Amino acid sequence: MKHLIILWIFLLIAFSMFSQTVITGKVIQEKDEPLPGANIYLQGTYDGISSNPKGEFKFKTNKTGSFILLANFIGYEQFSQKVDLKGDTIRLNIQLKEKFNQLNAVTINVGTFEAGDKKQAVTISPLDMMTTAGANGDVYGALQSLPGTTINGESGRLFVKGGDSEESQTYIDGSLVSVPYNSTAPNLSARGRFNPFMFKGTLFSTGGYSAEYGQALSSVLLLNTNDMPEEDQLDFSIMSIGLDASGTKKWKTGAVTGTVTYNNLGPYMSIAKQNYNWEKAPESLSGEISFRQKTSKTGLLKFYSNLDNRNSKLSQYDLVFGGKPINYELINKNQYMNASWNDQLSEKWGMNAAASYTYNTDNVSYDLAKVKKHIEGAYLKNTASVQFTDKVMLKFGGEVISKSYTQQVQLTNESHENSFANHNFSGYTEAQIYASSKFVTRIGGRVEYSDYLNILNASPRLSAAYKINSKSQFSAAYGWFYQNPVDNYLLYTNQLKPERADHYTFSFQSFANSRTIRVELYYKDYKDLVKLNGTEFYLPSSYDNSGSGYAKGLDFFWRDKKTIKNGDYWISYSYLDTKRDYRNFPEEATPTFASKHNFSMVYKHWLGGIRSMVSVNFRYSSPRVYNDPNSTVFNGEKMMPYRSLDLSWSFLYRQNIILYGAVTNVAGFKNEYGRSYSITPDDSGYYQSAAIQPSSNRFFVLGCFITLTRKGNANQLDKIE
């Protein structure tokens, strides 16, 4: 009996071994590369194994019948296949597809520089925007160290990829800013109106931007204000050019911040040599208030208001008036306010509403002439977004832009007044579709109607991006962009069409080991540009849309935070080829604001032993053209190249006290921006001229920044420069 039992057990074991099924194969990803460590097993059992370094696997099972074989690997979709276990060998080649995750998926970044976004491959940060030497506390000044921009020292405004400064628009929390720059005397650099301390992030799009934004031929600058503060705070700034005081009061669901700023360049100009004679140095007083209130777990309401008053008086030798000194007096009053509300209404639906109002007046006295310019603008926008699936999102909305512009000119024996009012109504929609985590497209369109011009336009927009690997990607964009003619033309006629630019942009970007490289090629085709034919600028018949032009170029950006310990530098270079036949041009020519080569190198170093940050910025622009009426070649003369070496030093005296100093053009390079000419020739038939110079060859500022909080560990290190 004992022998029979042993024989029976032996037969069962032999039968079991004979009935075992062998499952073997290899696990690979979409590019046929092996996936080591993948788990392969039979559903509902403990039979399985992990793949080896070559992605291969092999295991045996005593199970029989139909089972589901599963294969899992983190970041990839689960593989499943029905298998019939019959005691034989099953060979499988398992290919796992990468699981889609928007956080790790490719993003469209063509033509875009971001600051303050949480993505890994951000090219610049809010700290960079404020601690770049030469920026002088101006957001627009900081952006001029990025590729795609051209420095115009006599303007200070943004000139992007062959576009005039009028072709760039600024938005704060989604609301349009009708007058983003300070008013200045002719040929003197302007600055942005808004305190850079108030912004948490910036998105600077130099082309191919979303269908959500219109009325900009070249670029849009999106500024996002700070969200909820962490605690109550008082900030004081004492500078060589003025004073600033700010206070923040926080409660459980909201906060309010008030700021008062007074600037007077008189003391500074009394010790720093100026190239012009200031009868009254620039002086300004401004106040602003911002309010934050949570409306739900995901909802936030923001309100911001700014009042600004500025005045100055400058004596210039003006060739138009025979070369005698002329007093140019400017009094500017500006009010801007905006409100925005964002909320995630449900798991799929989101809403954003924004509104703004601008009231700006310039009173100018120039010799015996008096000019008053008044702009009043209102803006309203509402955008909704719906997430149909993880891979498909739709955004749509509408906006209204209302603008009135009045110009009053009073001369000795006559006076003139011209004005216009325009309402732009726009609707837009855009779908973002992920084919996979490596490829995304954004397809959209925009419709705009102007009641003053009585014309309707449609703008298609298309962009896409492909992720080569986890660090690198290609992006491309195409679109039509419309913008109404400049105000000075609309004052005299409404028989024009909006101007148009078609964008073609292709870019490559890679981010690895704290190093970023970005290369971008672009082409812009300008159509329907306004031409001024004849000298009678006040006649509607003098204007038409027969102008055209192009801009093409290459932008390069390299940033390295790794190579030098405690050091960080970036290099930007732009090549630009552009020509236009527009405005009063007699023929196609390069415009005066365009420079063929633009270079900037920024280096920052943290000196831990003395708790200081040093910043150096060298900027170069190749000579721009200008027109000499004594020459037969239009725009045939060239200015001097622009060069500037800028330095700044930030010293953390205490945790809450920062001492700061900065100097622009420390090497004393001579910069000129062409020449101005008399409007009539002298007795010999020659047009007299004079060089257009900056206000001063150098500019320096000293400051002390003090922060008071209950904890005592907060400071303004991210708000200096």
CATH (domain of 137): 2.40.170.20
Residue 381 phi/psi, 5-degree rounding, is -145, 145
Task: Give the residue, 202 or 491, on which the prediction is more confident.
Answer: 491
**DSSP of 225-248:** E----SS-EEEEEEETTEEEEEEE
Rounding to the nearest 10 degrees, give the CA dihedral for residues 103, 104, 106, 111: 60
- Sorted by sequence, the CB contacts under 8 Å of residue 217 that are 6+ apart come out as 163, 167, 481, 482, 483, 499, 500, 501, 526
Structure tokens at 15: 């039968």
User: What is the pLDDT, as a whole number, of residue 15?
Assistant: 45
For the segment 540-566, the average pLDDT, to the nearest whole number, is 93
Residue 196, burial from CB neighbour count under 10 angstroms (0-12, 13-18, 19+)? buried
Q: What domain range includes position 397?
A: 112-340+350-465+475-719
Task: Output the six-digit token pair for 518.
Answer: 């970005």
The verdict on residue 324 lying in a domain is: yes
Of 478, 430, 483, which Cα lies nearest the Cα of 455? 483
CA–CA–CA angle 208, 213, 217 (5° rounding): 55
Instruction: Label residue 125 by pLDDT band (50, 70, 90).
Output: low
pLDDT value at position 103? Answer: 54
> What is the predicted pLDDT for the residue at 339?
95
Distance CA 135, CA 142 (A): 5
Contact 449, 416 (CB under 8 A): no
- The count of domains in the chain is 2
Which amino acid would we find at residue 19?
S
pLDDT tens string 346-366: 989 999 999 999 999 999 998
Higher-confidence position of 107 and 626? 626
Rounded Cα gap, residues 299 and 302, in angstroms: 10
Least confident range of 141-150, 322-331, 620-629 = 322-331
Q: Are residues 61 and 135 in the same domain?
A: no
**Nearest-angstrom CA–CA distance, 603 and 626:** 33
116 pLDDT tier (thresholds 50, 70, 90): very low
Angle at 203 between CA 197 and CA 207, to 5 degrees: 145
Question: Are 263 and 284 contacting, i.e. CB atoms less than 8 angstroms apart?
Answer: yes
Report pLDDT digits (tens) over 209-241: 889 999 999 999 888 888 888 888 898 889 888
Say what the pLDDT of residue 14 is: 47
The answer to whether the CB of 645 falls within 8 A of the CB of 286 is: no
**pLDDT at position 632 over 60:** yes
pLDDT at 118 (0 to 100) = 38
Assign 115 a pLDDT band (cuts: 50, 70, 90).
Answer: very low
Q: What is the pLDDT of residue 117?
A: 34
pLDDT of 137 strictly over 80:
no
Inter-residue contact 88 to 99 (CB < 8 Å):
no
**Above 60 in pLDDT, residue 691?**
yes
Q: Tokens 């589901």 map to which residue?
A: 68
Residue 540 counted as domain residue:
yes
Q: Is the pLDDT of residue 368 over 70?
A: yes
Specify whether 180 is located in the same domain as 147: yes
Over residues 254-262, the mean pLDDT reads: 93
- Given this model, what pLDDT does residue 327 score? 85
- For residues 274-302, give the mean pLDDT: 92
Is the predicted pLDDT of residue 283 greater than 50, yes or no? Answer: yes
Do 117 and 60 fall within a single domain? no
In a domain, 102, yes or no: no
Domain boundary among 95, 120, 139: 95
Q: Could you tell me the two tokens for 151? A: 């420095």
Q: Is the pLDDT of residue 721 over 50?
A: no
Q: What CATH number has the domain bearing residue 67?
A: 2.60.40.10
For all residues of the chain together, what is the average pLDDT? Answer: 87
DSSP-derived secondary structure letter, 538: T
Q: Which of 34, 62, 95 is the last residue of a domain?
A: 95
What's the rounded Cα separation, in Å, for the pair 340 and 303?
A: 7
As a whole number, mean pLDDT of residues 604-622 equals 91
| pLDDT confidence tier of residue 3, bands split at 50, 70 and 90 | low
Let me know whether 227 and 276 are in one domain.
Answer: yes
SS3 470: coil
Report if residue 345 sits inside a domain. no
One domain for residues 126 and 68: no
In the chain, the amino acid numbered 152 is N
